Structure 1
Amino acid sequence: MPQWSDHSNGERIKILRGGEIKQAHLAEMTGLSIATIQAAEQDKCLSLPTLLKIAASLSVDTSVILGQQAPRRALRQEDRTMMRDLSHSVHDTAAGITPAVEAPSLDELAQITRQGWELYWKGHYSEAGSLSAPLLRSAAARLHEQPAGQESAAWGYMADAYRICAYVANLMGVRDLAYAAIGHAQHAAEKANDDLRKALVMSGRSWVYMRDARLPEALELAERAAVDIEPRFSRATPEQLTVYGSHVNFAAVVASRLGDKDRAADYLSQSHATGARMGNEVRAHGTLFGPVSASTQAVGINVALGQTGKALALIGSIHETEQLSEAAQHRYALDKAMAQADAKMWDASLDTLESALRGAPQWARHQALPHVIVSKVGRASTARLRRVSKLVGAGPGATGFPAATAKNAL
């Protein structure tokens, strides 16, 4: 597959507009003639004014069209437009620019925040991002209207909105925005004086670090977040157990990426104990945790540690995943497919992967692990492999630039 820089400028414009935007539509978006668009795509003429207008309409930097940097993985036109609005909202609100929107009530903010998290945990990341930008502006408007000394609740919703923005940006590969948003979330959580929110933001920053391959720092943050909110089991609320369980589980994830089996096993033990104490899955503060979450996430952790036997044994003991969020169910399917591939169960792995890709094509667009699985399976089952490879081609790497490696498949 050619590198992004191997394409001509015209080819890159064609790839970026994809099948969703016709030449005539791009001409309308830019205010240019169809002939000018055709000339640009045929590499006959691309003046600076034309370049600037096309880049702005496609929501990319000019350097992307010129091949100096690759486009964000799996970003379509609507994704790029959403990310631009998200970026404006994050930076404007952090700069103290009061948005010209009507301030909703705190109850209304709570409801919209729940909707944002529901979209996120369904794996509808573009929709979650589209909602979180106006949510952030609305929370900022509410904060501006709050009486002095009564701002803590509004700051809490600011922290939640920034955190959703950070998570969406991190999944979309827009790392600078993810760092900025999670930093603003930390400031807002401190203003809200909410220990659980502060721990959740710290864990969120750890996840950004992990996706950026800063593993030692990610583990340090994940461990600190878990320790800061470790509850007394005898009197812990379900909400506290949910947040704590998700934190120790994530600490196990990061430890597994570092290859630290003892540390990962210790955190997994705490995760399973917390899940057993809860008895069922509970949602709180934009996260979900319980005994099923502990077991399914342990599969991926054992896969990362190369403990295929343990992963397959866990898979054999997991029978009901309906309590999980849709995104968690899909992720478990990928971990299961990876474990099967590691065990050279080629056909079973491709069947599991195909089912996940067909069941959640929009979610799969933002995942790199399918490419890793297909690469591992190799030529083992030609008919299935061709079929699944075609499905994977609809996700990362389909636009002519390299797919992510296993290192970035987290």
Structure 2
Amino acid sequence: MQWSDYTNGERIKVLRGKDVTQAALSELTGLSVVTIQKAEQDKQLSLNTLMKIAAALGVDTSVILGQQAPRRAMAQSDRTMMRALSQTVHDTAAGLLPDSVVVEEAAVVREAIDKCWDHYWKGHYTKAGALVVPILPQATAYLRDQVVGAQGEAWGLLADAYRLAAYVANLMGARDLAYSAIGHAQAAAERSDDELQPALVASGRAWVYLRDARLGDALSLAEKAAVDIEPRFSRATMEQLTVYGSHINFAAVVASRMKNEDLVKSYLSQSNATGARMGVEHRARGTLFGPMTADTQAVGIAVALGQTGKALDLIRDIQEPELDALTEAARNRYAMDKAMAQADARQWDASLDTLEKALIEAPTWARHQALPSVIVQKVGRASTARVRRVSALIGVRPGVDSGFAPATSKTAL
């Protein structure tokens, strides 16, 4: 069933979801509960009511009218955050800052950015996006407060803030905002005094390309970003190795999507060598890399290449306690790759066990991912009613490959 097949009232109810009651929506809009009820029952929906409900739910009026489908996986809190993030990205780029913004020291802005990255790598994307909203004007105000000719550090902070905005937008499926934010990040990075900053932003743009199915462009940019920062291993710092390793690993991911096995082999060799040189996982500049990251990413790459046997061999060599070295988001992604490999091997029950465990442990992260739905659809063709329980965790209906499931507003991307 498509979004346009529902009535206006049904669409309001779905968008409201379980998290927002009619009474809560009444408070958010300033409308009476009776007016909300009439709107959901398709008895009365004036233009004024429509506009207030749309604003409160964080969607365009065209979504309620069925002219445009909502972005999947977005709860009301997601939509509210994305609207604020979009406004902030465009306003700061135009030089428009809120009157309340206070010029903070660089260390304060950096601490806020690091805290935002922490939430991002835990898979708390809505919280990370909400934190970027005040960081962007703070970083812009700090830049304005610096003497011309001594703004290199400030430009670097602003580049990081825009890169964060681009990452959140990309995960939320807001591709236009992701392109805009990463473009502003690039302009700031080129004026910073940080030699790693341009490559970090280039890698971020490559990821936007990948999510937009521009595989050739993504690979070219990922390769260039890695080459631009390739360190001399004999004297490379952990920060340099971390950034380089994550870049070359990403190039391997893109090459796997293009089914270019020769490139994948080359990049994985460099990724493994970098991880071995580091010896441990290390976090720097909004990314994490090390030997365990290299090993777990290799599983996803093998799955993408259709090398199921190789993926299972790699999984057998990875011990569960070793995964603690990864970020929560990285552990969750590995679990999805593992479940997909098991599904491809027709290990239906094992795949469901892996998937269900990950969904229970990380429900917030899972609702922004596409892979859980793909796995359920694959396993559902040959498994039991157990699929229904797992499907409920991600808000999809077993056997439904497309359309909008009205049971929840948290359908996976």
TM range (shorter): over 0.9
Aligned pairs for 1:5-20 (under 5 A) are 5-20=4-19
- Tell whether 2:166 aligns with 1:161: no
8 A contact 2:395–2:408 mirrored in 1:
no
Q: Alpha-carbon deviation of 1:290?
A: 0.5
For the residue of structure 2 that corresponds to 1:138, the secondary structure is helix
Q: Shift of residue 35 of structure 1? A: 2.6
2:409 & 2:36 partners in 1: Cα distance? Answer: 26
Name the residue aligned to 1:361.
Answer: 363
Determine the C-alpha separation between the residues in 1 that align with 2:69 and 2:167.
21
User: What's 1:310 paired with?
Assistant: 310
Distance 1:127 1:42 in 2: 33
The farther-off stretch of 229-238 and 179-188 is: 229-238
Equivalent position amino acid for 2:58 in 1? S
CA distance in 2, matches of 1:35, 1:161: 43
In structure 2, what residue type is equivalent to 1:315? I
Q: Tell me the CA shift for residue 310 of structure 1.
A: 1.0
Aligned to 2:150: 150
Report the 3-state secondary structure (helix = DSSP H, G, I; strand = E; otherwise coil) of the residue aligned with 2:323.
coil
1:347 aligned to 349, 352, 357, which one? 349
Q: Secondary structure at the match of 2:288?
A: strand
TM-score between both structures, scaled by the size of structure 1: 0.95
TM-superposed deviation, 1:404: 8.6
* Match of residue 28 from structure 2: 29
- Bigger drift between 384-393 and 364-373 goes to 384-393
Aligned partners of 1:400, 1:71: CA distance in 2, in Å? Answer: 14
Tell me, what secondary structure is at the counterpart of 1:322?
Answer: helix
For 2:148, give the aligned amino acid: A
Partner of 1:38: 37
Q: Following the alignment from structure 2 to structure 1, what is the Cα–Cα distance between the partners of residues 98 and 195?
A: 28
CA distance in 2, matches of 1:404, 1:19: 13
Query: Is 1:230 aligned with 2:237?
Result: no
2:109 aligned partner:
109
Query: Secondary structure in 2 aligned to 1:381?
Result: coil
Distance in 1 between residues matched to 2:355 and 2:382, nearest whole Å = 15
- Once the two structures are TM-superposed, the CA of residue 151 in structure 1 deviates from its matched residue by 1.1
Distance 1:400 1:211 in 2: 27
Structure 2 residue aligned with 1:241:
241
Equivalent-residue separation in structure 2 for 1:29 and 1:331 (angstroms): 36
For 1:393 and 1:58, the matched residues in 2 are separated by: 19
- The answer (yes or no) to whether the contact 1:4–1:402 under 8 Å persists in 2 is no
Q: Work out whether 1:261 is the aligned partner of 2:265.
A: no
Matched, 1:196 2:185: no
Deviation for aligned residue 1:398: 4.6
Q: Distance in 2 between matches of 1:102 and 1:308?
A: 54
Contact 1:98/1:144 (CA < 8 Å) preserved in 2? no
**Matched AA of 2:268:** L
Which residue identity is paired with 1:134? P
User: 1: distance between equivalents of 2:195 and 2:410?
Assistant: 39
Distance 2:27 2:191 in 1: 46
The corresponding residue for 1:330 is 332
In structure 2, the CA distance between the partners of 1:404 and 1:252, relative to structure 1 (3 Å rule), is farther
**Uncovered stretches (5+) of structure 2, i.e. residues with no partner:** 398-402
User: Please, which runs of 5 or more residues in structure 1 have no aligned partner?
Assistant: none
Match of 2:392 in 1: 390
The answer as to whether partners of 1:74 and 1:397 remain within 8 angstroms in 2 is: no
Which residue identity lines up with residue 7 of structure 1 in the other structure? Y
Question: Which of 376, 379, 400 is the equivalent residue of 1:377?
Answer: 379
1:51 correspondence with 2:57: no
Amino acid in the other structure paired with 2:243 = V
Describe the superposition over 1:327-376 as per-residue Cα deviations: whole angstroms up to 9, x where unpaired: 00010000000000011111111000011001101111111100100111
Q: Write the distance in 1 (CA, Å) between the matches of 2:351 and 2:404.
A: 21
CA distance in 2, matches of 1:46, 1:369: 37
SS at structure 1 position matched to 2:325:
coil
Task: Please name the residue that 1:73 is paired with.
Answer: 72
* 1:54–1:85 CA distance, 2 compared to 1 (3 A): same
Alignment partners' CA distance in 2, 1:357 and 1:288: 23
Residues 303, 311 of structure 2: 8 Å contact kept: yes
Among the aligned pairs, what percent are the same residue? Answer: 67
Q: Could you tell me which residue of structure 2 aligns to residue 301 of structure 1? A: 301
**Is the CA contact (8 Å cut-off) linking 2:74 and 2:410 kept in structure 1?**
no
Residue identity matched to 2:325: Q
Tell me which amino acid in the other structure corresponds to 1:97. L
Q: Kindly indicate whether residue 253 of structure 2 is the aligned counterpart of residue 270 of structure 1.
A: no
Residue 266 of structure 2 aligns with an amino acid whose one-letter code is D
Q: Distance in 1 between matches of 2:133 and 2:406?
A: 27
Question: Which residue number corresponds to residue 131 of structure 2?
Answer: 131
- The one-character-per-residue Cα deviations of 1:310-335 (angstroms, maximum 9, x if unpaired) are 11111111111111101000100000
Letter in 2 for 1:371: S
Letter in 2 for 1:385: V
Give the partner amino acid of 1:184: H
Listed one character per residue, the Cα deviations across residues 1-51 of structure 1 (whole Å, up to 9, x for unaligned) are: x11111111110111111222222222322223232222212222222221
Render the CA deviation track for 1:194-243: whole Å, top value 9, x for unaligned: 23111111111111111111111111111111111111112211111111
Would the aligned equivalents of 2:3 and 2:404 in 1 still touch at CA under 8 Å?
A: no
Determine the C-alpha separation between the residues in 2 that align with 1:317 and 1:375. Answer: 28
Between stretches 226-235 and 282-291, larger displacement belongs to 226-235
